[in-house]
Amino acid sequence: MGNSSLQIIADNISVIASPTTWIEGGAIQQLQTTAKLPGMRRVAGMPDLHPGRGYPVGAAFFSVDRFYPALIGGDIGCGMRLLKTDLSTAKLSLDKLVKRLGNLDAPLIDQSDFWQERVNSCQMQDTGFEHSLGSIGGGNHFAELQQFDAIFDQTLFASYALDRKQMMLLVHSGSRGFGGQILRQHIDQFGHEGLLAESASAAAYWAQHARALQYAQANRSLIAERICANLSSAAETVLDIHHNFLSEISINGEHGFLHRKGATPADPGLLIIPGSRGDYSYLVQALDAELSCLSLFSLAHGAGRKWMRSECEARLSKRYTAAQLSRTALDSRVICHDKGLIFEEAPEAYKSIDSVIFSLQEAGLIHLVAKLKPLVSYKTSGACCV
């Protein structure tokens, strides 16, 4: 009964992390600050917890009477989409794969009549952000081709119709500028006070939030379609799951609002928790644990940052050139022609995914299905250098 991965910080603050998982003090501080917001009942840090802009990332927050759009952040609907391609990993050339991937940065809507029709079919004209649909964005967003490295539960693996030799595609993106605009307009009007659940402004936020979730999912879908077209591959979607979103929930008979910011919902079915570009990704199932109330029915959404973006280049540029960082310890390729970003997203800047997965496992929150290894991680072909 692994409760050494359950840290009780206060009676309403818990963190799921083994003693060996790196949790920055500033993140705990942000968790404590957030726990004091009016109506806040419970906050839970995941093992990938790290400091964010004002509020922590890798956490879930349960409030009553009111909710806080700022806790969801600007990238409303950010999440993971995993697909199985029809490409075999048996005899693959990474060079060829990189070449075939091509450039995914330009607005998809401008690529051809076909793509314009595909983008239009998402019915996002009214958002004013149609031109961002089908491109990945910046920060920690990526698209990654992966291959299975280990299967932990053959029966479950087979039950999801997965094939050990099939190349997988993981897309991590969100609502881009559209969600950012929603948050910005909200903050301009209401600041950080949150919205009373019954108010008209709360209803307006719910409508915008729902639209941003649709946009984010459409974006991941188009990115995947674009990549598969470049690779001449068919693809089948295995999962598409948001990790930044608001939902209504009752906990211990009390109705309220569950904010997830970088927290994967511990729902039934297959889930993916990816490591950094130089690390593995884990396919897992959530376990229906007694602890679920303390973890707010959530899991980690990735490895979690260890270093601030602003310190990465200074810490790494003495050890590595940008060109060296375009290969990883797992022999995968990194397509990131943005010198700042290639340092910011270096594997060294992230926690070890094994420590995150171990924490969730020891807390009894997950069951492992399989492990994937990166082949090609795509960030951006644009910008400069390398």
User: Minimum distance from CB of 338 to DNA (Å)?
Assistant: 9
User: Minimum distance from CB of 131 to DNA (Å)?
Assistant: 5
| Residue 380 in tokens | 């951006």
Assess contact for 81 and 224: CB atoms under 8 A: yes
- Closer residue to DNA (CB): 174 or 256: 174
| Residue 250 in tokens | 């009752």
User: Minimum distance from CB of 75 to DNA (Å)?
Assistant: 5
Among 209, 301, 337, 367, the one annotated catalytic: 301
DSSP at 77: T
Binding region for DNA (CB under 7 A)? 53, 57, 74-75, 78, 128-129, 131-132, 137-141, 173-174, 176-177, 180-181
Helices (H), the chain: 25-35, 69-72, 94-101, 113-120, 154-159, 176-190, 200-230, 309-316, 339-344, 353-362
User: Minimum distance from CB of 52 to DNA (Å)?
Assistant: 8
- Closer residue to DNA (CB): 197 or 300: 300
Cα–Cα distance, 248 to 250 (Å, whole number): 7
DSSP at 187: H
Which residue type occupies 41? R
Is 301 marked active-site? yes
Assess contact for 253 and 64: CB atoms under 8 A: no
Could you tell me the CA-to-CA distances from 68 to 4, 43, 124, 260 in Å, in that order? 31, 13, 25, 11
Cα–Cα distance, 163 to 298 (Å, whole number): 28
- Closer residue to DNA (CB): 63 or 132: 132
- Closer residue to DNA (CB): 184 or 255: 184
- Closer residue to DNA (CB): 276 or 295: 276
Could you tell me the CA-to-CA distances from 321 to 261, 312, 316 in Å, in that order? 33, 13, 8
Q: Is 123 left (phi over 0), alpha (psi -120 to 50) or beta?
A: left
Which residue numbers are catalytic?
301
